[in-house]
Amino acid sequence: MKLPILLLPALFLTVNGCLRVSVPIKCSPTDPATLLFAYSNDVESYDPDDFLIAITNYIGKTPVKYAITATVRFDTKNKEDIVFHEGETMSDSYYTAYEYLWEKGTDPSQRFDSSETGSDVLDMLERFVDTNRPNICGSMVLIAMKRSPNEIEIPKKLLEKLREYRIQLSIGMSIPSSGGLHPETISNLVAQTNGYSVILNDFKWTSDTLPQVFTPYIYYSLNLKLSGTGTMVLPPVTLPSLPGKVYRELGLHIGVRSTGTVTRLFYKF
């Protein structure tokens, strides 16, 4: 077994395994941010709708920290701009973006000609973090992919900015893959930025496997290297007291990457 990733969303503090990642704080958890939905041109035309179904059902009914919705289609022959959808409220912005996605869909004529061509998802992320738009810090980026990158190394500046700006990545990778050489690059990307990734054959299950947009704050995150059998006791989770509150809801997510076959995995807390 190679690398389990334990994530507990609650507040906005991160710990990366035995190495504490210390970066400047550019924003607080309550600051307005952007919700970016990015999708590969390789996915089916109905996949973006399936990916976003959980958000669509609840947006406008549940308070969120996001101020604006942005969209972008990547893995195209001609690079496309990130579009920020203005609206008087976040709900207005989201539904404007949703209608835009529904009309835009995918364009088979713009798909790469070869399965050996890698995804340009890393370039898309670099363009997002380098934009001069406000409300980038603290953003959530939802990514629907089908093609892997050809890069092995993740640009250092990209990692630094994703951490510095506290950008949370939630990535769905559809199988079978349409191309690219290194799917592990995506696993490494989310492991190094306290993000999430899931491999699935139908995007309609995405909302069951990726954390909700409505609980976006990570309090505790560990990347652990394991081998063989046995147990490991993790550092305790100490949550600050909240005056007047006796109940709080926490989500626990464990992701496992393995070079072998994982037959049993137990956890308790």
Q: Which CATH number fits domain 3-221: 3.30.450.40, 3.40.50.720, 3.30.2350.10, 3.40.50.410?
A: 3.40.50.410
* Domains of the chain by residue range: 3-221
In this predicted structure, what is the pLDDT of residue 22? 54
Instruction: pLDDT tens for the chain, 269 residues: list them.
Output: 444 444 444 333 333 333 444 556 678 878 999 999 999 999 999 999 888 887 887 787 777 889 999 999 999 999 999 999 999 999 999 999 999 999 999 999 999 999 999 999 999 999 999 998 999 999 999 999 999 999 999 999 999 999 999 999 999 999 999 999 999 999 899 989 988 888 888 888 777 667 667 666 666 777 777 776 777 788 887 777 767 766 666 666 666 654 445 455 555 55
Residue 230 has a pLDDT of: 76
Residue 215 CA, chain-centre distance (Å), reads: 13
Record the tokens describing residue 230, joined without a space. Answer: 């046995």
Name the residue among 35, 139, 43 with its Cα closest to residue 96. 35
Cβ neighbors of 36 (< 8 A, separation 6 or more) are 69, 70, 71, 72, 82, 128, 139, 140, 141, 142
Say how far residue 13 (Cα) sits from the centre of its chain.
Answer: 17
pTM over 0.75: yes
The letter for the amino acid at 85 is H
Identify the sign of the CA torsion 36, 196, 167, 117: negative
Confidence (pLDDT) at 203: 84
Strands 218-223 vs 3-9: parallel, antiparallel or unpaired = antiparallel
Say what the pLDDT of residue 17 is: 38
Task: Yes or no: say if 180 and 147 are a contact pair by the CB < 8 Å rule.
Answer: yes
Q: How far apart are CA 135 and CA 65, in angstroms?
A: 10
3-state secondary structure the chain: CCEEEEEEECCCCCCECCECCCCCCCCCCCCCEEEEEEEECCCCCCHHHHHHHHHHHHECCECCCEEEEEEEEECCCCCCCCEEECCCCHHHHHHHHHHHHHHHCCCHHHCCCCCCCCCCHHHHHHHHHCCCCCCCCCCEEEEEECECCCCCCCCHHHHHHHHHCCCEEEEEEECCCCECCCCHHHHHHHHHCCCEEEEECCHHHHHHHCCCCCCCCEEEEEECCCCCCCCCCCCCCCCCCCCCCCCCCCCCEEEEECCCCCCCCCCCC
Output the pLDDT for position 64: 82
